[in-house]
Structure 1
Amino acid sequence: MTPVRRRAALRLLALALCPLPAAGCADPAPRAPADDGAVRRAVADWSAAPPARLAGIPLEGWSYEVTSVRQSGVRAFARAELRYRLAGYDGAPASSAREVELARDGTAWRVTADRPAPGAVAQLWDQGEVAAVRGAHCLVLGAGQTPQALAALAAEADRAVPAVTAAWPRPWARRVVVLAPATLEAVAALLGRPADTYRGLGAVTTGSTGGGPAPADRVVVNPEGYPGLSEAGRRIVLTHEVTHVATRAATSASTPLWLSEGFADWAAYRQTATAPADGAPELARAVRRGELPGALPADGSFTFGGDPQATARAYGGAWLACRLVAARWGEPALVRLYELAGREPLPAALGEALGVDLPGLTAAWRQTLREELG
């Protein structure tokens, strides 16, 4: 048989064995791509307005922007960026990475779940029903808290905001959002760190630093640490954290932590008669043992999760450094130092605001520790 006849015979045999294109011998048709457009439209329709369960929260600018879609049979998963503002409180939109799950219902897609994207932090409403309490200068959002606890927290925040404004006379929102989750683990979920990081703390502040309004700048109250504080302790802790909110736009990576943490403590203690040894007991004990620090606290000294006594000494030393600046050079000079240190090297900021170099400030600080704590 010639090669031509052999090829023809093979083609006829193939047709006899597989006469129809749909038979198993035919090459499979290419798989249809995921219906991304329909999934995106379903997410857009579903997210056109905040859920009814969030009706008590003053939300505006609520939107989900889908960034990618993955389909698996009758299920689809959309990665999206949630953006929103708390009306009257947020100077810039807050954002949250989300994963929206959908199921195909006939020819349409229906949203079945909405959760934080893998690796992203949770929102308070991911943790249950959220209650809102408005104060004169604050908005308190709580999950799993009693109305009485939220009202008390709002009253405490309302006292903190004017105290911070008196210490930081620069422009800021002069209002604050306070989040009150139900457990320490819930705090950790909101902040994206292990729970042990916040064990023993009364509260912590979120938000990025840098020149401009900070998105999602919140004070998060630790339900395991805050309620056990005395009334004075709660006032100090909340004023400290609100100070971080007020000074956020003036704070940058160049701001030393002894200045940012010390300023927040100075603002919190400013209207009290707290003696240095009472406000910095761990440092006072160290000085009395002859362990006078040789330098202002380094940034690494403020890390929680390590030696709590060392951390307490760092905070006490930072407070007393800012207290010294305010007493010797004046409160306006301390505020000016804070502003300058956020945008230029510390030596230059010290020279411009105080007319002193770092060794000179350190020597004055160490002498103050000897006199007031020794």
Structure 2
Amino acid sequence: MPSYPSWEQTLAGKHWRNVHFPRIREDTPTFLGVPYALDEADIQGADVVIIGAPFAAGWGKKYSGVDKAEWLAATTRVRQQSIRYRGGYIQELDLDVFEHLKVVDYGDIPIPIEASYEGTVERILAAQELVETRVKQALNAGAVPIVIGQNSPVASYAVGRPIAQHFNGTIGMVSLDTHWDCWPYDWATKNDRIAGSTNWKDKLYRDCPNFAIKNLVEIGERGMLEDPNVVRRFVNGGCCFMPMWKIRTELGIEGVIKNLDHAYKDAEAVYAHFDMDVLGGAGPTDGDILGELAEPMGMTDYEAIRIAYETGRRGCAGLSFLCIPPGSAVMYRVIVYALTYFMAGLAQRKRDQAAGA
């Protein structure tokens, strides 16, 4: 696994500005240096609220063969890598996100560390409730919550369910993943109350009837991982399924972008979920850093970033990241790009609406 640079090395690589920017902890700047929101009052009037949700599923010290400490570091390391950039100006779009959006960083949710090493039902449900509470606060403030996490239910179900509760109408979903996560049970607990890594999507559609399968756009699965009954249930239910094989042989990225419209048809809101194991062996680093989650024929970093941008441009009620490839600075930068380009899409949408376009 690549050696992740220390905070001192990360700071030393910054050539353009000094070290005076908002910090959550000594080694944790806010995302892109945006204001740090301490409480619910601080998020009022925000367009986007960034939330860290550090949690790794299951018992013991490893998840999918990788040390849990590496997974849990993502909320810090994504922010560390973000501070190397000047701000929200994206040159190829000639757009400064912060000219159009008020963005705040709501810090990390205080999920007890024991929840990531002792996967009891009680600890998991408590962690889920903490995330749901903060996501609801963002939604009630009129903002788009963006949750940086690593495992379900904390960075998936706990984001999707508050969105379903906040809106009365149909909810669509844009989902990037290597796996469908639609088994009828959680692999780690076998408890029906847990929306875990293998079943969170099944449970979300079961518990939140305004999430419509016909408005699900599922992108990136491949290979021999799934039970045919799981896949056929969703395909026969009308979801738009774009496996990597179809993307490579038929659709290309432009076809994928066109098909995003399935999520929005007659929907009041759309939730975007980016499970970054979708990168597999693609992207700017080795796939093996994902441990057992690595699969061939992965999505590229550009494709994931482009989908994030186009989803934001169409409008999105919330975004979550999990299974962020651990231990590589450049992979954390992929998340910085995906998150920022998503906000750029939101900013362009807001700008166009203000102009009457």
TM (normalized to structure 1)?
0.28
TM-score normalised to the size of structure 2? 0.28
Higher relative contact order (CA 8 A, sep 6+): 2
